[in-house]
Amino acid sequence: MGNQVLVTDELHEYMVAHGMPLDEIARELVEETHKLGGVSVMLTTADQAALLTTLTRLVSARRAVEIGTFTGFSALAISRGLPDDGELICLDVSDEWTSIGRRYWERAGVADRIDLRIGDAHESAAKLEGEFDLAFVDAEKPGYIDYFEQLLPRIRTNGLLLFDNTLAGGRVVGQHEQDPVDRKEFNAHIARDERVDVVILGIGDGLTLVRKR
C-alpha cells in the first residue's frame, strides 16, 4: 500500500492555491467568521469547499440539502455547483450565524438558490419533501445516525451523502481521553450497510462520501 501524505498547513495552502482558490467573497466570509472567535473552528476547510463544489457538479445536482450551515461557507460552495434553477435547502438552529451567510450568498448571486430553514434539523429533515441529489451533513455529531437514516430514503439512486468530521482529528483509532464515541458508532453503522458505498477521505477532519446504490 502507498503512503498517506501528511497535510501540513503549508501543504494545505499549496493544495488550495493549485486547485480552486477562494475568491474574494469566500475569503471575506472566512475572515468575518474568524472574528467570531473560537467557534470559527467549525468552518469547513478551503479544500473541502472546493471538493463540495466539484462533487455537486459531478453528480449534476439540482436539489441539495445541508444540515449544519453556520456562517454559510459550505452552503456557498455547494450552491455555486448548482445550476441557476437549482435548490439548496439549509437546516440550522442559529439565526445569528446563518444571517452572516445570507449577506455573502446575496453578493455571490446564489441567494435565490438557497432556502434556509431555522430550527432543530432532526425535525426539519423529517419535513423535507421530494428527492435530493446530494446531502452534506455537518451538524452535531451524535445526530449523524439519525440524519443518515432520515436522508438516505430521500436521496436518489447514485446520489451522494457527505458527512464531515468523521475521523474526529484521528481519535477514532487508538486510546484518547476524549473518545469520539458518536463518530465511531456512526462509522460502524454505515460501514457494512448494503444500501450504500462508503469512502472516507482524509481531508479536513475526515469527510465520508456515501453513494446510494
Ligand X SMILES: C[S@@+](CC[C@H](N)C(=O)[O-])C[C@H]1O[C@@H](n2cnc3c(N)ncnc32)[C@H](O)[C@@H]1O
Does residue 128 bind ligand X (CB under 6 A)? no
Nearest partner of 74 among 55, 95, 93, judged by Cα: 55
Does residue 74 bind ligand X (CB under 6 A)? yes
Report the nearest approach of ligand X to the CB of residue 79 (Å). 12
Does residue 92 bind ligand X (CB under 6 A)? yes
The DSSP 8-state label assigned to residue 110 in this structure reads -
- Number of residues binding to ligand X, judged by CB under 6 A: 20
CB nearer ligand X, residue 86 or residue 204? 204
Among 73, 104, 105, 132, binds ligand X (CB under 6 A): 73
* 8 to 47: interface string for ligand X, x by CB under 6 A: ----------------------------------xxx---
Does residue 94 bind ligand X (CB under 6 A)? yes
CB nearer ligand X, residue 59 or residue 97? 97
Among 140, 146, 152, 200, binds ligand X (CB under 6 A): 140
Q: What is the DSSP string of 19-53?
A: S----HHHHHHHHHHHTT-GGGGGSPPHHHHHHHH
Does residue 139 bind ligand X (CB under 6 A)? yes
**Cα separation of 182 and 185, whole Å?**
5
Of the ranges 80-88, 93-101, 102-110, 180-188, which one interacts with ligand X (CB under 6 A)?
Answer: 93-101
CB-neighbour burial class of residue 171 (10 A; exposed 0-12, middle 13-18, buried 19+): middle
**Cα separation of 128 and 130, whole Å?**
7
H/E stretch holding 80:
helix 73-81
Of the ranges 135-143, 155-163, 171-179, 185-193, which one interacts with ligand X (CB under 6 A)?
Answer: 135-143
Report the nearest approach of ligand X to the CB of residue 203 (Å). 13
Site residues for ligand X, window 43-72 (CB under 6 A)?
Answer: 43-44, 68-71
Q: What strands lie across the sheet with 114-118, from one edge to the other?
A: 114-118, 87-92, 63-67, 132-137, 155-164, 207-212, 196-201
Return the sign of the alpha-carbon dihedral for residues 83, 110, 20, 170: negative
Residues that bind ligand X (CB under 6 A): 42-44, 68-71, 73-74, 91-94, 97, 120-121, 138-140, 143
